[in-house]
Amino acid sequence: MIPTSFPSKEEIARLSARMLLEIGAVDFNSKEPFTLASGLPSPSYVDCRKLISFPRIRSTLMDFLTITIMRNAGFEAFDNIAGGETAGIPFGALVAERMALPMTYVRKKPKGYGRNARIEGVMKEGERVLLVEDMTTDGGSKLSFVDAIRETGATCGHTALIFYYDIFPETIQKLGDHGVELHYLCTWWDVLAEARAQEAFSAETLDEVEKFLKDPRAWQDAHKSA
Ligand SMILES: O=P(O)(O)OC[C@H]1O[C@H](OP(=O)(O)OP(=O)(O)O)[C@H](O)[C@@H]1O
Ligand SMILES: O=C(O)c1cc(=O)[nH]c(=O)[nH]1
């Protein structure tokens, strides 16, 4: 069903951060950092894939994402919703259902056999495609997905996701230079504020994470061989 009530951006961010914390989708470990898709280390990791297993939270967040897309980009702005392999696919399906639009998905790489496609489902020339993903760190995967969509002759000027790192200042610029606008529900700053309010992790852990969030490149340089 198409959502018709529009909570404020701030309320959406606060509630989304709380939901991610409540289901244990947020992990902090500065002693054994996570390796990101970019290959770089991080003391924090958000696993939005877990959301699909929690129907109440999943449904509320997908309503929030649909509202955010319509409020920011327009109510009739898209013809086709594309999920990014892998984590973006279920969210793409859930948003497409809410917006009553066709759905497709984009592979990270051509399949290698069969049609050797990167786009699955039907995507037509001239269609306005919204790329739906779970999250973005530095936007690298989004550029590749958008390029695959554009190769079909469709247009793609927007990507919508649940979680945006918001610590690499060049991310929005990089996407903007590629003609892509970013829409999201919450960031590390929302999660950190909520984690502090709830005392969800030790103060020492949160201080170390904040150090990373404030200067991620310096933190990564110091932990590259960790
Ligand atoms: O490159 P960015 O735009 O900053 O986003 C980071 C990517 O990392 C995750 O995917 P991952 O490579 O872990 O694959 P998965 O979706 O198959 O789990 C996530 O789903 C994003 O696509
Ligand atoms: O950049 C990534 O690979 C990444 C970071 C993160 O916090 N969560 C995730 O699923 N991927």
Locate the domains of the chain by residue range.
Answer: 12-217
Mean pLDDT of 70-88: 98
pLDDT for the residue 106? 98
Atom of ligand 1 nearest to the CA of 38: 1
**Rounded distance, CA 42 to CA 69, Å?**
29
Say yes or no: ipTM exceeds 0.95.
yes
CA 4 to ligand 1 center in whole angstroms:
30
The torsion angle over the Cα atoms of residues 58, 61, 63 and 67, rounded to 10 degrees, is -160
**Rounded distance, CA 107 to CA 76, Å?**
26
Res. 145: pLDDT tops 70: yes
Res. 226: pLDDT tops 70: no
Helix (H) or strand (E) holding 46: strand 44-46
pLDDT for the residue 30? 82
Ligand 2 neighbourhood includes 197 CB (under 6 angstroms): no
| Topology classification of domain 12-217 | Rossmann fold (3.40.50)
Of all ligands present, the nearest one to the C-alpha of 47 is: 2
Ligand 1 neighbourhood includes 133 CB (under 6 angstroms): yes
pLDDT for the residue 65? 98
Atom of ligand 2 nearest to the CA of 165: 7
pLDDT for the residue 155? 98
Predicted confidence band of residue 100 (pLDDT cuts 50, 70, 90): very high
Mean pLDDT of 112-116: 88
Residue 76 burial (CB < 10 Å; 0-12/13-18/19+)? exposed
